[in-house]
């Protein structure tokens, strides 16, 4: 495991926080040179310095700029994401569009930018941070669930096109992970479900799972690192759940 990614160049979007930051550390620990791509420049730079990688300060909402991009990474982790919680009838259309832009259109544009280099090397690993919400729905998350279901489709098409060129594409599908994204939605979940914040974990986030705890970012990162390795060459077009049994229902 130690040097399983020696010589590989990786790019992790949303790499400055949560699952992305754990993934940056996991890939770097296995020998990869990692680009931390994030809108939070200070945090991206600090983490890049920590792991001997580099930072790319990028706002992935700026899809115009991504259209002419060319990437020379061997491993692309599409991870940047946000959340909005609201019933459909109140859901701000601007927020809906922004979530689809960041979590579906930007991954498409980054895959598009990375494939020529991967095809030329006959090697590539694309890992898309989907969610249990790429496979199951929850109320009040129309944009997020739509974007993640779309990402599942994009990942499978990439797998079919990339197979002949040594490129795999897979989704990782965690349940609730202990990150700032989850911490910041507790208040909104309490409001929309009409329960106290102290009950959100037990009554909303962990009801469907068999293992009653949050996923740790490092657990997700270790799966991403394995999918990035040579060992996972026959794994493509797949969606690997890490949801404590939620989707077994």
Ligand X SMILES: NC(=O)c1ccc[n+]([C@@H]2O[C@H](COP(=O)([O-])OP(=O)(O)OC[C@H]3O[C@@H](n4cnc5c(N)ncnc54)[C@H](O)[C@@H]3O)[C@@H](O)[C@H]2O)c1
- Under the rule (CB under 6 A), what is the footprint of ligand X? 14, 16-20, 38-40, 58-61, 79-82, 102, 129, 131, 174, 176-177, 179-182
Burial class for 161, CB neighbours closer than 10 Å (0-12, 13-18, 19+): middle
Provide the token pair at 85: 């919680």
Compute the least distance from the CB of residue 11 to ligand X, in Å. Answer: 12
Tell me the Cα Rg of the chain.
Answer: 17
Residue (59 or 199) nearer to ligand X, CB: 59
Residue (119 or 186) nearer to ligand X, CB: 186
Residue (29 or 135) nearer to ligand X, CB: 135
DSSP state of 216: P
Residue (20 or 124) nearer to ligand X, CB: 20
Alpha-carbon separation of residue 91 from 31, 61, 85, 102 (angstroms): 43, 19, 8, 17
**Does residue 172 contact residue 127 with C-beta atoms inside 8 Å?**
yes
State the Cα–Cα distance between residues 37 and 27, nearest whole angstrom: 14
> What is the full DSSP assignment across 90-137?
G--HHHHHHHHIIIIIHHHHHHHHHHHHHHHHT-EEEEEE--GGGTS-
Residue (131 or 168) nearer to ligand X, CB: 131
Residue nearest to ligand X (CB): 18
Compute the least distance from the CB of residue 182 to ligand X, in Å. Answer: 4
Per DSSP, which regions of the chain are E strands? Answer: 9-13, 33-38, 54-57, 75-78, 124-129, 167-174, 239-242
Compute the least distance from the CB of residue 119 to ligand X, in Å. Answer: 26
CA terminus-to-terminus distance, the chain = 33
Q: Tell me whether residue 144 is one of the annotated catalytic residues.
A: yes
State the catalytic residues. Answer: 144
């Amino acid at each position: 495991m130690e040097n399983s990614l020696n010589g590989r160049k990786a790019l992790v979007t949303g790499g400055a926080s949560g699952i992305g930051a754990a993934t940056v550390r996991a890939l770097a620990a296995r020998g990869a040179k990692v680009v931390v791509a994030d809108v939070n420049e200070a945090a991206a730079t600090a983490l890049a310095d920590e792991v001997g990688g580099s930072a790319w300060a990028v706002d992935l909402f700026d899809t115009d700029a991504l259209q002419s991009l060319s990437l020379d990474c061997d491993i692309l982790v599409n991870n940047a994401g946000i959340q909005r919680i609201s019933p459909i009838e109140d859901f701000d259309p601007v927020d809906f569009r922004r979530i689809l832009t960041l979590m579906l259109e930007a991954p498409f544009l980054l895959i598009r930018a990375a494939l020529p280099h991967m095809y030329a090397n006959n090697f590539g690993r694309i890992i898309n941070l989907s969610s249990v919400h790429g496979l199951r729905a929850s109320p009040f998350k129309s944009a997020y669930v739509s974007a993640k279901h779309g990402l599942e489709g994009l990942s499978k098409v990439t797998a079919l096109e990339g197979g002949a060129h040594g490129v795999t594409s897979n989704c990782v599908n965690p349940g609730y992970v202990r990150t700032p994204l989850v911490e910041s939605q507790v208040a909104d979940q309490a409001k929309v479900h009409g329960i106290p914040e102290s009950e959100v974990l037990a009554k909303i986030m962990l009801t469907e799972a068999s293992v009653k705890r949050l996923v740790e970012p490092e657990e997700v990162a270790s799966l991403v690192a394995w999918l990035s390795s040579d060992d996972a060459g026959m794994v493509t077009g797949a969606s690997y759940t890490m949801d404590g049994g939620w989707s077994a229902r």
